[in-house]
Amino acid sequence: MAVVFFLPWVSATKEVRIADLRLIPYERGRLPGELLGIPQEAFDGVLGNYGDRGFGSQPSQPIQQAAVIIWDEDTPGLEASDAQIQQRLVQCSYLAFSALVGRSLCSTFDYCNADTLQVVAQRFDVASPAHSCVTTRRRDGGTQNMLAGRGGLKFIRPYHVDNSSRITLDIPLLEALLKLPVGELKERIDEAVVSFLRANTDASSIDERSELILMRVAIDTLLDVPHDKAAFRRAINEHFDELPNPPIWHKGSLDEQWWCKHWDKHVNRPLDAWVHDFCAARNAAAHGPANGEKGSIWPRHNHLIFSVWLLPLIVKKLLAQAGLYEFTAEDKIARAGFEVFLAHDLLAFTDKDENKVWWQVAESELYLPLFAEQFQRACK
């Protein structure tokens, strides 16, 4: 049977090639037309099972735009083995990861979540493409659900998935991930990416406790360390060897005195204080408050936004060490200066008008040297 890979909740305005895969615009009734022997009507039948919820008196309707993924090795008929499907779904997870890395945090625009970037691999019969078979997991294995016939949507866009999301792919990162050879590094990155995506769905079915645990798992996996705070602290300090010495304690509501009063042992720099705090927050999420142990200074949402931003910098260095990626100027500044975030209550508003949060202030301070350099170049 034929199999089509597509992102039902993402529209593509033009074709984009990354390595040997291509994102191709889908438009109901028009695009992509006949593709590798599959007619437009078949694409409409498969993707017609996915729809947008109604608004007011307007009924729900099939999605009008989406993005189809094809590979250079695809042959007419779009057939693929189970092994190929699994391999390609891993590559699709890289695509979702690179889009999340490219999003803007604490911004009205250019935001997306992992569920926005859901990739579906759907087998279908060209003669009856609206008939679908969905395989779902069970604790004792799996089961299949037949969704037959036209005349009704099977999947509706979730409420937490914006119908106007614009994604920005980190293309160099995605290209590097797609080049990863089979081996131990790829296994670690693959596992970490899965945990990262699960921690970034924005779905109400996954709470912040679970997300925090997933993020710690992802970072531990990347750094290849056991679940031990001392080992974690050593590994993350060794990894971020670009950090300035002597350390810089930035000015903010959470200054050196504040952090070191709470975490008064084994704190040589802001990163050490964060390790203590992150571990305390994760342990409370996993096991509940521990009697006699210090709680975290940062609330969970601060640890989540910071760790989500930090983890891709770890992935990029691992890829750079493997000769697959080259740091950008922005990467270098971020890796050397991220401790600026630790001086603030990141998602607290900066004033009573509630127009800005401290994350935005810290981010601007971090990248100010880069913006200044770019401005000087533009003026020459």
In tens, the pLDDT along 107-156 reads: 888 899 999 999 999 999 998 888 777 778 888 877 877 776 566 778 89
For residue 294, give the DSSP letter. Answer: P
Model pLDDT, residue 373? 72
Please name which of 27, 52, 55, 6 lies closest in space to residue 163, comparing C-alpha atoms: 52
Q: Return d(Cα 377, Cα 380) in angstroms, integer.
A: 5
**Residue 164 pLDDT grade (very low, low, confident, very high; cuts 50, 70, 90):** confident
| Average confidence (pLDDT) over 59-68 | 93
Tokens of 375: 């401005």
Residues 6+ apart with CB under 8 A from 92: 5, 69, 119
Give the Cβ contact number of residue 378 at 10 Å.
7
CB 139 within 8 A of CB 222: no
Residue 352 scores a pLDDT above 90: no
Average pLDDT, the chain: 93
CA distance 310 to 99: 15
Asked if 171 contacts 98 with a C-beta cutoff of 8 angstroms, the reply is yes
Question: In terms of residues, how long is the chain?
Answer: 380
- Rounded (5°) CA angle 18-24-25: 140
Per-residue tokens: 103: 């999003």
Comparing C-alpha atoms, which of 266, 249, 91 is closest to residue 179? 91
Report percent pLDDT > 70 for the chain: 97
The whole-number pLDDT of residue 304 equals 98
Q: What's the whole-number mean pLDDT along residues 272-279? A: 97
pTM of the model as a whole: 0.93
Record the tokens describing residue 37, joined without a space: 């022997």
Mean pLDDT of 179-195: 98
Average pLDDT over residues 224-239: 95
pLDDT of residue 154: 84
| CA dist list (Å): 262 to 246, 267, 295, 298 | 21, 10, 9, 11
C-alpha distance from residue 306 to each of 81, 136, 264, 319, 347 (Å): 39, 33, 22, 21, 10
- Interval 317-337 mean pLDDT: 97
How far is the C-alpha of 10 from the C-alpha of 70, rounded, in Å?
15
Q: Strand 16-18 to strand 61-62: parallel, antiparallel, or no bridges (unpaired)?
A: unpaired
Confidence of residue 60 (pLDDT cuts 50, 70, 90): confident
Question: Across residues 235-255, what is the average pLDDT?
Answer: 96
